[in-house]
Amino acid sequence: MHTRQSQSGFAFYNVCMKHKELKALIFDVDGTLTDNERDGHRVAFNRAFKDTGLDWYWDIETYDRLLKVFGGKERIRYYIEDFLTDFTPSTDLDHFIGQLHQLKTEHYLDLLKSGTLPLRPGVERLLTEAHASGFKLAIASTTTLENALLLVRLSLGEPALDWFDVIACGDVVVNKKPAPDIYLYALEKLGLAAAECLVFEDTQAGLESAKAAGITTIVTVNDATRHQDFSGAALVLDQLGEPGNEFELLAGNARGETMVNIDLLKQIHSDVSVDLA
Ligand code: XBP
């Protein structure tokens, strides 16, 4: 009896020592906060190509293939190197890509301003609840910083920018997703351990990036990513869910919930922590 008590006491001590409280939620942007790849970024790339006098056009099928490369500049380079046989830019390639991408960013910001790229269902609700509950919030995205800032400003209002302790974007790290760099950077800036955070992603590469940084991840798929492999995600859903517009559970244990809320996130976090202990 004494031995069993000691063992369970030791196990409890072990869990307490290793269990970390959930303190922050880290969000990917493109495809996660807003479903904007096909109707936002793709359109902006095509407008930039036209402005530049290029006869390139990325239809949805082509764009979905290009999405395997993260980052707009990297995506253009991949297209030139892997899809075109004999393209030679009029200037140095890096300069050419940089200018083309700058033009694309201007078109993308215009699209955001036109109001055609709303937040996905449940995003505003969850961010508001998390902020009101005292959680730290962060963004960890491959996209250009201005894109993420304008999305938050236009969809949640200027004060909501202060909800985010860290907005980590684009070229602040050298290696983009699926490398863990952007999530490791966000953790460092938050001053938190991976075990104190949860990540929200929409792609396999984003999940791999977060997993490689050691952070438990919830995936909300979209049409471009639904077929991808999300092994290792804590939960895979079609969206975060709203009252009257519940999520569809694709993988994992949603504990009977129909919307992602702070209670569900705490349960997921606590179960993962105990599993690790
Ligand atoms: C997704 C991306 C982004 C955008 C393009 O990033 O790959 O590169 O498609 O953005 P995430 P830029 O899912 O990490 O938000 O053109 O501004 O690079």
What pLDDT is recorded for position 15?
A: 43
- Edge to edge, the sheet with strand 136-141 lists 164-169, 136-141, 24-27, 197-201, 216-220, 235-237, 249-252
Residues 6+ apart with CB under 8 A from 1: none
Does the C-beta of 209 come closer than 6 Å to ligand 1?
no
Does the C-beta of 72 come closer than 6 Å to ligand 1?
yes
Q: Distance, CA 69 to ligand 1 centroid (Å)?
A: 9
pLDDT over threshold 80, residue 95? yes
Q: Does the annotation count 30 as an active-site position?
A: yes
Give the mean pLDDT of 81-89. 92
What pLDDT is recorded for position 273?
A: 64
Does the C-beta of 204 come closer than 6 Å to ligand 1?
no
What pLDDT is recorded for position 138?
A: 98
Q: Distance, CA 205 to ligand 1 centroid (Å)?
A: 12
- Name residue 209's amino acid: S
Taking only the tens place, the pLDDT of each residue in 191-247 is 999 999 999 999 999 999 999 999 999 999 999 999 999 999 999 999 999 999 999
CA distance 169 to 145: 5
Does the C-beta of 141 come closer than 6 Å to ligand 1?
yes
Q: Distance, CA 142 to ligand 1 centroid (Å)?
A: 5
Percent with pLDDT over 90 in the chain: 88
- Name residue 202's amino acid: D
Q: What is the mean pLDDT of the chain?
A: 92
CA distance 60 to 57: 10
- Radius of gyration from C-alpha coordinates of the chain: 20
Cβ–Cβ < 8 Å for 63, 75: no
Give the mean pLDDT of 57-72. 96
Q: What is the pTM of this model?
A: 0.91
pLDDT over threshold 60, residue 18? no
Q: Distance, CA 170 to ligand 1 centroid (Å)?
A: 8
pLDDT band at residue 137 using 50, 70 and 90 as cut-offs? very high
Cβ–Cβ < 8 Å for 30, 206: no
Q: What is the number of residues in the chain?
A: 277
User: Phi, psi (5° rounding) for residue 157?
Assistant: 100, 150
Probe target for ligand 1 pocket from 70, 217, 228, with the most ligand atoms within 8 Å of CB: 70
List helix spans (H) across 136-277. Answer: 145-156, 181-190, 204-212, 262-276
Q: Distance, CA 189 to ligand 1 centroid (Å)?
A: 21
What pLDDT is recorded for position 17?
A: 41
Atom of ligand 1 nearest to the CA of 202: 13
Here the tokens at position 182 are 């952007």
CA max distance for the chain = 81
pLDDT over threshold 90, residue 47? yes
Q: Which of 142, 100, 134, 121 is nearest to 33 (CA)?
A: 121
Give the mean pLDDT of 148-157. 98
pLDDT band at residue 16 using 50, 70 and 90 as cut-offs? very low
The H or E element that residue 108 is part of is helix 93-113
pLDDT over threshold 80, residue 148? yes
Does the C-beta of 34 come closer than 6 Å to ligand 1?
no
What pLDDT is recorded for position 2?
A: 36
Atom of ligand 1 nearest to the CA of 28: 15
pLDDT over threshold 60, residue 274? no
Here the tokens at position 127 are 């961010």
| Nearest CA owner, ligand 1 atom 5 | 72
Here the tokens at position 225 are 């990513």
Q: Is 131 helix (H, G, I), strand (E, B) or coil?
A: helix
The H or E element that residue 24 is part of is strand 24-27
pLDDT band at residue 152 using 50, 70 and 90 as cut-offs? very high
User: b/e for 102-111, b at 16 or more Cβ within 10 A?
Assistant: ebbbebbbeb
Cβ–Cβ < 8 Å for 180, 213: yes
Does the C-beta of 120 come closer than 6 Å to ligand 1?
no
pLDDT band at residue 85 using 50, 70 and 90 as cut-offs? confident
pLDDT band at residue 90 using 50, 70 and 90 as cut-offs? confident
Cβ–Cβ < 8 Å for 34, 40: yes
pLDDT over threshold 70, residue 6? no
Cβ–Cβ < 8 Å for 260, 247: yes
Atom of ligand 1 nearest to the CA of 104: 16
What pLDDT is recorded for position 1?
A: 34
One DSSP character per residue, 224-249 reads TTTTS--TT-SEEES---BTTBPPPE
